[in-house]
Structure 1
Amino acid sequence: MSMLGQQTAYASTASRLGDRAYWAWATVAVAYAIAFLQRVSPQSVNLSLMHDFGTDAAGVAMLASGYFWGYTLMQIPAGLLVDRYGVKRVVLASMAASSLGSAAFALAPNLLDVFAARLIVACGDALVFTALLKLVAQNFSDERFGIMSGISQVSGYVGGVIATTPLAAAVTGFGWRACFLFIAAVGLANLVAAKFALKPNPVSSGNKTLKSVICAARQSLSHVANWGCAMTFASHFAVVTTLSGVWGIPMVAHFFDISPIAAGTPLLAFMIGNAIGSIFLGHAADRVAALDAALIRICVLRMILVAMLQPPIAKAFGLVYVTVVFTTLGLVAGGTVPLVLKCTKRLYTADLIGVGASVNTTAAGIFAGIAQPIIGFAMLVASQFAVADTAHGAGAIGDAGYGTLIAILLLMSLPGIAGPLLMKGKLIVQ
């Protein structure tokens, strides 16, 4: 009876620990969903921002750039901070910054304050996914790491889904300021839940110092293959985020002269495709032998899909066609991330995968941050010089502007082909 009682007690304890692990994971997953929503929300509010602050496409692009720069500045520190101080302290600080930044964004009286608020939001959001991956590694067995990592990625796409049609409808009904005040309130409520759900940093993690992690990060930059991995992810991130998170809804609204709510449907389909692709194609990625070749093929496919959104083609085939293209693009995008993560693990090993993720996301943030003002300016200039687009107004973006966007996105995709070539021969399982 005593043995049976001990077994029952152990089972009860394991069950409680398991419940707490999922509760803790859920709070950080919600934080990641909010972070993803923040990243792709400009497409649903940029028309309102143009109207309220009297700015144009170049001004909106500068605001988008501010988020990417804040996100980038915190990427290398993200891995170091999580390794040194643990998930709980970093995540709570991240949630606080994101929520306060959202409130500041909602209350901002001018574009400079909007830029600063988005910068604060980005600095908080940049910490979340690294912390989420570490939490999964700490709280779940190796046999469940893959599926929990995939579901963690999907939690972000849930936020992306909310940032499309639902957010566009909410902005139309309640205004963008009220929407972001509500997002800030949800973030603060999640912070309180996380404070009780997350466990303190394990004592064993103190063996790893900031100096040792910094040295490992510096050494990793000397390998060409690691730069190839960073190029691959940067190209994917910048292209997909620019299209789906900044200009997707305005572009579709312009093509078919429809409201932002209706134009959000293809982007909603894109986010759903992302979630499906990250699970099913991510599962298939475990069976891919030649990762470099797979990444090149998936990049070429992404370029073809982007090219299919050229204004004359999109307008000729209609909204259903555009929705199908965005859905397929979402599947491809969702399947790309697991392939890149797999390359990162092989190049950096499991011990330094946090460093590898930080290097990749830093490169992605720099690339996306530099690209946004250039894209906005090029779209504006192309629209102003196109005779057919002058009727839309001096600051409006017409067919020529969106055609320029597609052309730039195709050029930005080229590092996604060069990167895997630099990794060739370094991705063999040791």
Structure 2
Amino acid sequence: MSDQKNFPPASLAWSVWGLGALLYLIGFYLRVAPAVITDQLMTEFAITGAALGNLSAFYFYSYVAMQIPTGMIADRWGPRRLLTAGAGVAALGTALFAFAPSIFWANMGRLLIGASVAVAFVSMLKLASHWFAPKQYALASGMALLMGVVGGVVAGVPLRFLVETFGWRPVMGVSAVLTAALCIATWLFVRDDPVERGYASHFQGAHGAHASTSLLRGLMEVLSYRNVWILTAVPIGFSGAVLTFAGLWGVPFLRQVHGLDPKAAAAITSILLVAWALGGPLLGSWSERMGRRKPLYLITSGVALLGWAAIIFLPLPLWAMVLLLIPTGFASGNIIIGFAWAKESVPLRLVGTASGFCNMGPLLGGMLLQPAVGWMLDQRWNGVIQAGVRIYDAAAYQAGFTLTVGAMAVAGTILIFARESHCRQMHD
């Protein structure tokens, strides 16, 4: 009886989980870092807007590809090995990006970063299921999203200040060193289960070979459910708009069109990220209270679509645009409703596979829209260059961001055809 009560102290549990969360923070930081160094990257590698969008999107190419197999790898290796390997490869990719002699090697660095940090979120959830009581699991999940946004905020004003002081290559080099240090700390300190440190485990269940051997069959079955496709496609528009603006093109837009300095522009994009992060758990909770998913998802999708349309097409003063970014970002946090809805749309035994597949949606948004907006900017470029950086006018940015509005309009239309789950498993 005493062994059953000998659970790990909270300080130890949060410390173990926290090292995994740090990799997620670093991953989010590296995801949006190009937004505040667009001018340096375009000058350094002599690239166009489309090439810059592609450079940023290389992170998403490998991140998306890793979503489904990550769960299987985590089951086989355990989170300790997976997080250690992820941090090690992320350090290598960041170093390659920092010292890349050409755009090819910078792209390869971003590719390695995306593939490696893709393991962080699933690993954190696995650690939480072993180290925390079930009632704390939701808290740990929410804290994970918060850690990601902290990384995004660090990649705003603080990163811009460091880049202006030391240069982007030294800053990225130090980021690689810190990530390598996290790799070592993870291996030395993290354990997959409290039992390995002499404590009782909170894990309720058992791992078996079935999960890995039936992965392909489970994936095929998951893809037979209409809601899975719909709830994967919808975030491509709404989350893609946030990642495209806050993750790459918002800062140059605010600088070139509104005349802001880099740090002020970065601060505004950080506001959008914070609103997005707050919207997720709150909208998810409101949906639970309503006992329905579809109405709130549709309403917030409409709010986000109208908000972005006003920001892009109306001649708003800067202060009004900044204020409008808050409810627009908040409403875009409706992806959390989609994650819960997707889990309820398949049998319980397929929840993990469905979650991994649907998690590709927001990332596909960044992967597709960032280079697409860059391509449109190049099509509307009037030939102006300053210090090796292409300068795009307001009409070019409006044309580019029109692609994001179009993607959201399509996503909102598709959402109409999803089946309501009433916050319950639909197939059990």
- TM-score for both structures, normalised by structure 1: 0.89
Instruction: Please give the secondary structure, in 2, of the residue aligned with 1:271.
Output: helix
Q: Which residue of 2 aligns with 1:231?
A: 233
CA distance in 1, matches of 2:150, 2:258: 26
Instruction: Describe the superposition over 1:170-194 as per-residue Cα deviations: whole angstroms up to 9, x where unpaired.
Output: 1111111111112112212222222
Q: How does 1:221-260 map to 2 (within 5 A)?
A: 221-260=223-262
Q: Against the structure 1 CA distance between its residues 129 and 332, is the aligned structure 2 distance closer, same or farther, given a 3 Å change threshold?
A: same
In 2, the alpha carbon distance for the partners of 1:182 and 1:326 equals 32
Alignment equivalent of 1:190, drawn from 182, 187, 200: 182
**Structure 2 vs 1, CA of residues 415 and 352 (structure 1 numbering), >3 Å: closer, same or farther?**
farther
2:304 is the alignment partner of 1:302:
yes
Note the 1:112-131 alignment, pairs <5 A: 112-131=104-123
- The structural deviation recorded for 1:403 is 0.4
Matched, 1:266 2:268: yes
Superposition pairs of residues 359-374 of structure 1, within 5 angstroms: 359-374=357-372
Question: What does residue range 78-157 of structure 1 map to in structure 2 within 5 Å?
Answer: 78-157=70-149
Closer, same or farther: CA 221–370 of 1 in aligned 2, 3 Å: same
Corresponding position of 1:342: 340
Shift of 1:115: 0.5
Asked if structure 1 preserves the Cα contact closer than 8 Å seen for 2:288 and 2:423, the reply is no
Contact 1:87 1:135 in 2 (8 A): yes
Residue 429, structure 1, aligned to residue 421, structure 2? no
- Pick closer, same or farther for the CA change 1:349–1:170 going to 2, 3 Å: farther
Question: Deviation at 1:195?
Answer: 1.6
Aligned pair in 2 of structure 1 residues 77, 422: CA closer, same or farther (>3 Å)? Answer: same
**Aligned AA (1:161):** V
Output the amino acid matched with 1:264.
A
For residue 198 of structure 2, what is the aligned residue in structure 1? none
Note the aligned Cα RMSD (angstroms): 2.4
2: CA distance, partners of 1:33 / 1:153: 9
Using the TM superposition, name which of 100-109 and 362-371 deviates more: 362-371
Rate the CA distance shift 1:394–1:119 in 2: closer, same or farther, 3 A: closer
Contact residue 102 and residue 121 of structure 1 kept, 8 A:
yes
- Tell me by how many angstroms 1:25 deviates: 0.9
Matches of 2:226 and 2:118, distance apart in 1: 25
Displacement of 1:196 in angstroms is 2.9
> What displacement does 1:399 show?
0.7
Cα deviation 1:390-427 (Å, max 9, x = unaligned): 58799321111110122111111134313433322445
Task: Give the equivalent residue in structure 2 for 1:3.
Answer: none
How far residue 301 of structure 1 moved from its aligned partner, in angstroms, is 0.8
Say if 1:364 and 1:278 are closer, same or farther in 2 by CA, change over 3 A.
closer
Q: Deviations over 1:244-294 (max 9, x none)?
A: 101111111122212211211211212222333234334323213221121
Segments of structure 1 that go 5 or more residues without pairing to the other structure are 1-5
Q: Is the 8 A contact 2:276 2:330 kept in 1?
A: yes
1:171 to 141, 145, 163: 163
Is 1:286 aligned to residue 288 of structure 2?
yes
Q: Where does residue 374 of structure 2 map in the other structure?
A: 376
Where 1:269 maps in the other structure, the secondary structure is helix
The count of residues paired between Structure 1 and Structure 2 equals 414
Partner amino acid for 2:332? A
**Distance in 2, Cα, partners of 1:300 & 1:323:** 19
Partner of 1:328: 327
- Counterparts of 2:153 and 2:171, CA distance in 1: 15
Q: Aligned to 2:392, what secondary structure does the other structure show?
A: coil
Q: In the alignment, is residue 41 of structure 1 matched against residue 33 of structure 2?
A: yes
Contact 1:102/1:117 (8 A) holds in 2: yes
Q: Is the 1:234–1:360 Cα contact (8 Å) retained in structure 2?
A: no
